[in-house]
Amino acid sequence: MSEMKYDLSEVMITEEQIAQMVEESAAAINADYGTEEELVVISVLNGAFMFTADLLRALKMPIRLEFVQCSSYSGTNSTGSINMKKDFDYDITGKNVLIVEDIIDTGNTLSKLKKLLQDRGAKSVKLCTAFDKPDRRVNDLQADYNGIVIPDEFIVGYGLDFNERHRDLKEIRIVKEIK
Ligand code: IMP
Ligand code: MG
C-alpha cells in the first residue's frame, strides 16, 4: 500500500462547504446541549484535529477537551476489544460526552469507543463526525451529527491522511491509484 502510485483528484468538497458543515453541526450541538452544562469533547487523533479546532470555536457551552488515539481489531466480532494508544483520565461519570471524529467508515472503532465511554459512567455519549461513508458500515452505528455524507472513496485533506500525508489540505480530494 505504501508503494502505491497515486494522484489526487480535483477538489471534491470545498473549504466553503466544509465551513458550512461545521457551522450546521455546531448549531445543532448548541441547540441540543444549551449553554450551562459542561460538555466533554473526546477528539479522536490524529484525523479529527482540524475539525475539532473549528467545531470547538463555534460551540457555546463550557468545554472540557480530551484526546484519544485508538484502533480496533478488525473482524466480525463487534464486541471485540479496542486498543487505546492514548487515553485520558478525566472522570466522565455523569457527564455529557461528545466524540469528535474525522470520518466514520466501517464504524468498528467508534462503536467500541462509544461503549467504552458509556461503561465509564457518562450520562450521555454522542458522536459527531466531519464525514460519513455509510456504504462501508458493518454495524448499525450512526453519528448524531454526521457532517457530509460521501460515497465509497478514499479521501484526504482537512485532517484526513493517506499514509500520513495530505492532512494539511484545506479541501477534500480523492486518492486515485495510478495503474
Ligand atoms: P472505522 O470507522 O473503524 O472503519 O475507521 C475509521 C477510521 O479509518 C477513520 O478515523 C480514519 O482514520 C480512517 N479512514 C476511513 N476512511 C478514510 C478515508 O477515506 N480517508 C482517510 N482515512 C480514512
Ligand atoms: Mg482516524
Tell whether ligand 1 has an atom less than 6 A from the beta carbon of residue 49.
Answer: no
Average pLDDT over residues 63-81: 76
Count the neighbouring beta carbons within 10 Å of the beta carbon of residue 63.
13
- Does the structure show a pLDDT above 90 at 140? yes
Is 0.85 topped by the overall pTM?
Answer: yes
**pLDDT recorded at residue 102:** 98
Nearest ligand, CA of residue 158? 1
Q: Which residue has the higher pLDDT, 67 or 76?
A: 67
pLDDT tier, 3 (very low <50, low <70, confident <90, very high otherwise) = confident
Instruction: List the residue whose alpha carbon is closest to atom 4 of ligand 1.
Output: 106
Contacts 24+ apart (CB under 8 A), 156-159: 156/8, 158/18, 158/50, 158/51, 158/102, 158/130, 159/46, 159/47, 159/48, 159/49, 159/50, 159/51, 159/102, 159/130
Place of cell 470545498: 14
Say how many Å lie between the CA of residue 52 and the centre of ligand 2.
12
Angle ∠(159,162,168) on CA atoms, nearest 5: 35
Out of 29-38, 79-88, 123-132, least confident range: 79-88
Please choose, from the candidates 106, 172, 173, the residue with its C-alpha nearest in 3D space to the C-alpha of residue 134: 106
pLDDT tier, 139 (very low <50, low <70, confident <90, very high otherwise) = very high
48-62 per-position pLDDT tens digit: 999 999 999 999 999
Element (H, E) at 131: strand 124-132
Count the neighbouring beta carbons within 10 Å of the beta carbon of residue 38.
12
Please say if 105 is a catalytic residue. yes
Tell whether ligand 1 has an atom less than 6 A from the beta carbon of residue 154.
Answer: yes
Say how many Å lie between the CA of residue 105 and the centre of ligand 1.
5
**pLDDT recorded at residue 81:** 79
Count the neighbouring beta carbons within 10 Å of the beta carbon of residue 145.
21
Assign 176 to helix, strand or coil.
strand
- Of the candidates 87, 105, 119, 140, the residue annotated as catalytic is 105
Tell whether ligand 1 has an atom less than 6 A from the beta carbon of residue 132.
Answer: no
